């Protein structure tokens, strides 16, 4: 019985560690003229949980957050300008291939294809508009941000002092592999069942 308990415990520990290791992490480098707050949500119409912010556009801010497994996650940005010009720029990546951005890959840059934007109405709503392209990374007056090579400066169209941005991060639909711990766990349960049956037989 002690051996079976040990096997069960070991199997459960491996399964738990496997589940933790499978968590996909969203990472990003971003900034906005003048400030931004980033959120992660599982509903495009709900702002979500704060995962990063910045209020000094010459400095690149970073974010890192685990995604909610099995459902589409949404990266939401509220960017606020304190006087023209205004912009938002960023580069983002996923830690594995269990999710993908709307471009079908694990890497995303700010552009006018993969993002939705709208001027703020004061309360968050799911953006449906196409961002305005203000030029590639390196365009004046902002210059070049090394961590965002290939990204574009974007803003809501028309120009406003505040803008909403949204992009989806979808789970990859695929067969879930059975970890090596599952057969071990099944064997341990089977052994416990045999021991219980033997005990009942002996007590008759």
pLDDT of 183 reads 55
Do 126 and 52 lie in one domain? The reply is: yes
pLDDT of 173 reads 83
Which stretches in the chain have pLDDT values below 70? 1-22, 174-204
d(Cα 53, Cα 120) in Å, to the nearest integer?
A: 17
Domain count, the chain: 2
pLDDT of 13 reads 47
Do 109 and 148 lie in one domain? The reply is: yes
Three-state SS letters, 80-112:
ECCCCCCEEEEEEEECCCCEEECCCCCEEECCC
What pairs with residue 154 in β-bridges?
Answer: 88, 133
Domain range holding 70? 24-171
Instruction: Note the pTM of the prediction, 2 decimals.
Output: 0.77
pLDDT of 203 reads 56
d(Cα 5, Cα 178) in Å, to the nearest integer?
A: 22
Do 95 and 193 lie in one domain? The reply is: no
pLDDT of 172 reads 96
Q: Contact 78/30 with Cβ under 8 angstroms?
A: no
pLDDT of 113 reads 98
Do 70 and 142 lie in one domain? The reply is: yes
Do 100 and 157 lie in one domain? The reply is: yes
pLDDT of 176 reads 47
Do 103 and 60 lie in one domain? The reply is: yes
Q: What is the DSSP letter of 176?
A: P
Q: How far is CA 161 from CA 81, 119, 156, 158, in A?
A: 5, 8, 9, 10
Do 28 and 70 lie in one domain? The reply is: yes
pLDDT of 121 reads 84
Q: Contact 77/61 with Cβ under 8 angstroms?
A: no
Q: Contact 134/163 with Cβ under 8 angstroms?
A: no
Helix (H) or strand (E) holding 40: strand 35-41
Do 97 and 7 lie in one domain? The reply is: no
Do 10 and 105 lie in one domain? The reply is: no
pLDDT of 191 reads 53
pLDDT in tens, 27-66: 999 999 999 999 999 999 999 999 999 999 999 999 999 9
């Amino acid at each position: 019985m002690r051996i079976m308990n040990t096997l069960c415990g070991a199997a459960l520990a491996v399964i738990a560690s496997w589940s933790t290791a499978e968590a996909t992490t969203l990472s990003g480098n971003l900034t906005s003229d003048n400030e931004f707050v980033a959120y992660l949500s599982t509903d495009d119409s709900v702002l979500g949980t704060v995962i990063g912010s910045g209020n000094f556009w010459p400095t690149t801010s970073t974010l890192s957050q685990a995604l909610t497994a099995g459902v589409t996650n949404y990266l939401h940005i509220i960017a606020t300008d304190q006087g023209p010009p205004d912009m938002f720029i960023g580069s983002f990546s996923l830690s594995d291939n269990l999710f993908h951005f709307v471009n079908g890959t694990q890497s995303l840059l700010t552009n006018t294809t993969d993002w939705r934007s709208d001027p703020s109405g004061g309360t968050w709503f799911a953006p449906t508009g196409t961002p305005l392209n203000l030029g590639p990374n390196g365009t004046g007056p902002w210059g070049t941000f090394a961590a965002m090579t290939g990204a574009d400066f974007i803003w809501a169209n028309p120009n406003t002092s505040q803008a909403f941005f949204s992009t989806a991060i979808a789970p990859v639909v695929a067969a879930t592999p059975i970890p090596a711990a599952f057969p071990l766990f099944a064997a341990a349960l089977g052994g416990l069942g045999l021991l219980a049956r033997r005990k009942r037989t002996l007590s008759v």
